[in-house]
């Protein structure tokens, strides 16, 4: 067993070097915000399904971060249906590395 310590990016998805890591991180952040709203408003999955037009079974998957088959667009539409203003900001990335995807919630 090695005692070497590896540096991390702070995201297991990036650390696993998954090709779709940026999208997975984005989807997880959006789902986390939806889950937080449902908890704060004490919304049942059935009520959330009605408000977002997402079937209750998919709300269940979403709140358990099982996001395969749920698109970023669908998560964004759910957020707006829940009364969240979504703003996409694009800016030039400095350096040679690929750009990043981040979610900021206020």
Range list of H helices, the chain: 12-15, 21-40, 45-52, 56-63, 72-81
DSSP 18-35: -TTHHHHHHHHHHHHHHH
Give me the pLDDT at residue 40, please. 96
The pLDDT tens digits of the residues spanning 17-48 come to 767 878 888 999 999 999 999 999 999 999 99
pTM for this one? 0.79
Report how far apart, in Å, the C-alpha atoms of 95 and of each of 14, 58, 60, 100 are.
19, 39, 40, 12
Q: Is the pLDDT of residue 72 over 90?
A: yes
pLDDT at 10 over 70: no
pLDDT band at 96 (very low <50, low <70, confident <90, very high): confident
Q: Residue 101's Cα: distance from chain center in Å?
A: 11
* Residue 45 DSSP SS3: helix
The domain 17-81 is placed in CATH, from the list 3.40.190.10, 1.10.260.40, 2.40.110.10, 1.10.3720.10, at 1.10.260.40
Mean pLDDT of the chain: 87
């Amino acid at each position: 067993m090695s005692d070497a310590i590896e540096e991390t990016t702070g995201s297991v998805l990036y650390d696993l070097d998954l090709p779709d890591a940026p999208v997975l991180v984005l989807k997880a952040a959006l789902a986390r915000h939806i889950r937080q709203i449902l908890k704060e408003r004490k919304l049942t999955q059935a009520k959330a399904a009605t408000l977002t037009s997402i079937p209750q079974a998919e709300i269940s998957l979403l709140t358990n971060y099982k996001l395969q088959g749920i698109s970023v667009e669908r998560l964004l539409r759910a957020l707006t249906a829940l009364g969240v203003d979504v703003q996409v900001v694009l800016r030039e990335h400095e350096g040679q590395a690929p750009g990043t995807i981040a979610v900021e919630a206020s």
